[in-house]
Structures are given as structure tokens and as C-alpha cells.
Structure 1
Amino acid sequence: MAAEGSSQTSIGYIQHHLSFLTHGEGFWSVNIDSLFFSVVTGLLFIFIFSKVAKKATSGVPGKLQCAVEMLVEWVDGMVKENFHGSRNVLGPLGLTVFVWVLLMNTLDIVPVDYLPQIAHAMGFEYLRAVPTADMNITFGMSIAVFFLIIIYTIKSKGFGGLVKEYTMHPFNHPVFIPVNFLLETVTLLAKPVSLGLRLFGNLYAGELIFILIALTYSAGYVIGGLGIFMHVAWAIFHILVVILQAFIFMMLTIVYISIAYNKADH
């Protein structure tokens, strides 16, 4: 919609692209576009991997099968290095987190005007296509990791071990239980908060830069040509950000759960 620059101010253009397709108001509002693209990328992940699994052969694998096998082995190796329990759950979880977040992040590479224009033609006023640029999505995933940390702590140490974990450390004396509980609770809550904010912040910043670059297209031939160069350069660099943020989210998920499961009793 950069071509509409003559009828829309720069601020209006930015605000339009940063507005969600929302249903409801206030706390109970739902960003339909974020949920839609989250589900679509999740189904795409399931479709690709199930297709490869059904057609897997013990002979010479195809390119897609080879890529999937390398990815599975790589994630399994990451889990094996950090987690000393059964990998039946954490291995598939790490794989799902990495590929799903990667697919959602990759939507940020699509030119910012394409999907909103398609949505506008279908009668939708707003559309944001990058779920990981929505704090609700990133915090939803990080909250799930938070509960997994609690579950794996109980699984390895029992409920009594969970209580001891947050009341008798770092000071192993009953007098310091309130202090220990406060310190350990802050440490625990900081994990999902930092996990969600890190992913959201990087993808939101990337999306905003693409929007700002798109504004240059309506600023004349010289600046518009410079905008094309900046768009290509930022897109190439942003590919690294897309992959890196998916890796960081997966790796921290594995590490946090591993710490909860493997941590020695105090």
C-alpha cells in the first residue's frame, strides 16, 4: 500500500501496518490474523514432515527427506547434549518449536504490502502476517514452556522437591524461606518473560524496519531506488535473524527444561 502514499500519511501507513485484525475489545480481544497464520504454519509443518515420514525410504533419500533427517538428527543431538532423561518428548518438542517458529518468522520476509492488499481485496481492513511479532503469540509459547519447567521439576524431584527447590535455595535454612522463595520465583518468572520478549522484540523490530523501508518507494525515483537496495540488503540480513531467533527459542526451551529436570537437590 505504499503506492497510496498520496492519500495516506506516513504515520497512518505505519499505524495501518501495525494494526491487527482483531475481534472483541480489551482483555478479551483476539488477534485473528496472528492465530490464523500460526495455525497455517503449524499445519504446513505437520504436512511436510508427515509427507516425508510416509514416503521415507531406506535407500538413497530425496532432497526433502535428506533435509528433514539432518534437521531431526541435529535437534536430537542438541537435546542429547543438554538433557539426561528420556528424549521421547523433549526431542519432538525441540523439533516442533524450531520449525514452527522458523516458519512463522519467515513470513516477515514477505513484502509488507502483499498480504495486506490481498486481505483488503477480500474485505478485511487490517492484517499482520507475522505471528511472532505479536506479543500474545510469543508469550503464549513461553507460558507453555513455563508450565513444562514446573512439570519436569515435579517429574524429576516430586512435589516435595519442587517446594524445596524454591524455598531452601540459595540459603539452606528455614529462616530464609521467604527470601529464597522470592529470589527463586523471580528467577523462574524471568525465564518465560525473557523468552517471549526476545522473540517478539526482534521480529517486531524487523517488521517495523521493512515498513519504514517501504515508505521510501513513494518518495521519488532516487530515494525509491535506494529503498529497493535497502529492502534487499535488510531482507538478506533478516534471514539470519529469522533463523537465529528460531534457534535461540528452541535452545532456551531445551536448556530451561533440562535445568529443571537435571538440577541436583539442594
Structure 2
Amino acid sequence: MAATEGGQTSSQYILHHLTNASVGEGFWTWHIDTLGWSIGLGILFLWIFRRVAKNATSGVPSKTQAAVELIVDFVDSTVKSTFHGKNPVIAPLALTIFVWVLLMNLMDLVPVDWLPGLAMLIGEHAFGMDPHHVYMKVVPTTDLNMTFALSLGVFVLMIYYSIKVKGAGGFLKELSFTPFNHWAFVPVNLILELVTLFAKPLSLALRLFGNLYAGELIFILIALTGFYQLPMHFVWAVFHLLVIPLQAFIFMMLTIVYLSMAHEDH
């Protein structure tokens, strides 16, 4: 789709690509494209790993089995070197986060017009909709709602394991007497520790969102160049191949570190 096709200006084209398909109003607005792609990619992750586990062989592995084993070994070694507690949930959680976020990030490599253009054609010819009112964002991690949902899930686990390991009193004492171990500094400690605590999920969400949103925006700007789109898309995609797994790794790594800190009983 050309940038000005159907009377769209460049700014309208960019805005169209950055708008989610949504239903509902206000707080109860649901981004159905984010939900659809994230759930679909999650199911794909489960199907691939379950299929490999069922068909695993001790002989010469298939390419898929070798790739899965490489990912599992990588995550397992990362957890063992970073997490200092004993919890059988951490390694599966880290694996799920890494692969799921990686798959969602990889959608950024699909040319920006392919899937939204297909959605516009289906909306126009199958449902009689105005194609300019059919929206489709295919990279779930470019939606702040998705990255915050992931980070809030990690935050809930942090609070849960902090209370489980240290007890409610121990958790409150840690907030009140760190870093200054004196009752006179309790208000100062609470301010410092609560800011640090709430900054963790905030930084997790914004870091992932910011990097992927910026990458997607550059792909959209490249699409506006017309004739030079494919070679420039390829060059940026090669560079973006470094960003995509790196952001998945950082999200996984910080999750492990935060949960390891939650298991430390001072």
C-alpha cells in the first residue's frame, strides 16, 4: 500500500499504522489486535515446545529440537547463575517470558503493510467497512498495555514471594529499615524503598515498549520512501535482529534478578 493510497497523507498513514483495533470505551477499551496476536503467539510457543518434548530423541536431534534444547539450556544456565533461591517456578517462568517476548518482538520484522493491508482488504470486501477504519497492529510489545501487563505480572510475583519468604512483618521491616537501620529514618527509608519498588515494573514496561515502538516507527517511516523501501527495510531489519532478542533477554534477566531479590531474607 502506498503511503498516499486512497487519499491518505503521510501523517494519516503513520497514525493508521500506530492505531490499535479496539472495542469498548474508556477504561474498558480492549485492544483486540494486541490480545489476538499475543495469545496466538503464546499458543504457538506452547505447541512447538510440546511437540518437540513429545518427539524428543536421544539420537541425532532435528533442527527444531536442537533449537529448543539450545534455548532451554541457555535459560537454565542463566537462572542457575543469577537466581540464588530455591524455587521450581523460576526457570519455567523465565523460559516462558524469554520465548513469548521474543516471538512478539519478531513480528516487528514483518513488512509493515502486509498484515494491516490484508486486514483492510478483508474488512472492505467481507464486511463492507471503510478500509481506512480497519486497524491492525501486529507487534504486541509496541502496545504499552501489553508491556505493562507483563511487568505487573512480575510485580505481583515479587510482592508474593517477598511476603512468602520473609513474612509480612519481615517485608515491611525491610522497607522500613533499609538502607538506614534506625527507627528515626523510617519515613526516609519508606520513601526510598517504595520508589525503588514501583520503579521496577515501570522500567520493565517502558524499556520494552520504547525500544520496540521506536523500531516499528522507523519501519513505518521507511515504508514511506516508496521505491527504496525493500533495501532500506532489509538494512534496518538486520540491525533490528540485535534489538529483538536483546530486549527479550533483558526482560527475562531483570525478572530473574527481581525475583531473586524477593527470595533474599535479610
Deviations 1:234-253 (A, max 9, x none): 01111111111111111111
Q: Could you tell me whether the CA contact under 8 Å between 2:3 and 2:223 is conserved in 1?
A: no
Whole-angstrom distance in 2 between the partners of 1:6 and 1:83: 54
Q: Could you tell me whether the CA contact under 8 Å between 1:170 and 1:180 is conserved in 2?
A: yes
Correspondence for 2:206 among 185, 197, 207? 197
Report SS of the residue matched to 1:178: helix
Report the residue type matching 1:203 in the other structure: L
Q: Where do residues 1-266 of structure 1 align in structure 2 (5 Å cutoff)?
A: 1-2=1-2, 4-5=4-5, 7-123=7-123, 125-217=134-226, 224-225=227-228, 227-262=229-264, 264-265=265-266
- Counterpart of 2:130 in structure 1 is none
Whole-angstrom distance in 2 between the partners of 1:2 and 1:93: 42
Report the residue type matching 1:196 in the other structure: A
Whole-angstrom distance in 2 between the partners of 1:87 and 1:28: 36
Q: Could you tell me whether the CA contact under 8 Å between 2:3 and 2:10 is conserved in 1?
A: no
Report the residue type matching 1:199 in the other structure: L
Deviation at 1:28?
1.4
Q: Could you tell me whether the CA contact under 8 Å between 2:20 and 2:135 is conserved in 1?
A: yes
Whole-angstrom distance in 2 between the partners of 1:44 and 1:120: 25
Q: Could you tell me whether the CA contact under 8 Å between 1:80 and 1:87 is conserved in 2?
A: no
Report the residue type matching 2:203 in the other structure: S
Deviations 1:126-174 (A, max 9, x none): 1100000000000000001111111121222111111111111111122
Deviation at 1:61?
1.7
Q: CA RMSD in A?
A: 1.3
Q: Could you tell me whether the CA contact under 8 Å between 2:3 and 2:9 is conserved in 1?
A: no
Deviation at 1:85?
2.2
Q: Could you tell me whether the CA contact under 8 Å between 1:131 and 1:137 is conserved in 2?
A: yes
Runs of 4+ in structure 1 off by over 4 angstroms are none
Q: Could you tell me whether the CA contact under 8 Å between 1:119 and 1:125 is conserved in 2?
A: yes
Could you tell me the TM-score, scaled by structure 2's length?
0.93
Q: Could you tell me whether the CA contact under 8 Å between 1:21 and 1:128 is conserved in 2?
A: yes
Whole-angstrom distance in 1 between the partners of 2:21 and 2:3: 22
Deviation at 1:69?
1.2
- Counterpart of 1:220 in structure 2 is none
Q: Could you tell me whether the CA contact under 8 Å between 2:161 and 2:263 is conserved in 1?
A: yes
Deviation at 1:4?
4.2
Q: Could you tell me whether the CA contact under 8 Å between 2:3 and 2:13 is conserved in 1?
A: no
Deviation at 1:87?
4.3
Whole-angstrom distance in 2 between the partners of 1:46 and 1:165: 38
Q: How many percent identity over aligned positions? A: 59
Gaps of 5+ in 1: 218-223
Report the residue type matching 2:179 in the other structure: P
Whole-angstrom distance in 1 between the partners of 2:146 and 2:25: 17
Whole-angstrom distance in 2 between the partners of 1:84 and 1:51: 31
Report the residue type matching 2:37 in the other structure: F
Deviation at 1:3?
5.6
Q: Could you tell me whether the CA contact under 8 Å between 2:4 and 2:10 is conserved in 1?
A: no
Whole-angstrom distance in 2 between the partners of 1:60 and 1:231: 37
Could you tell me the TM-score, scaled by structure 1's length?
0.93
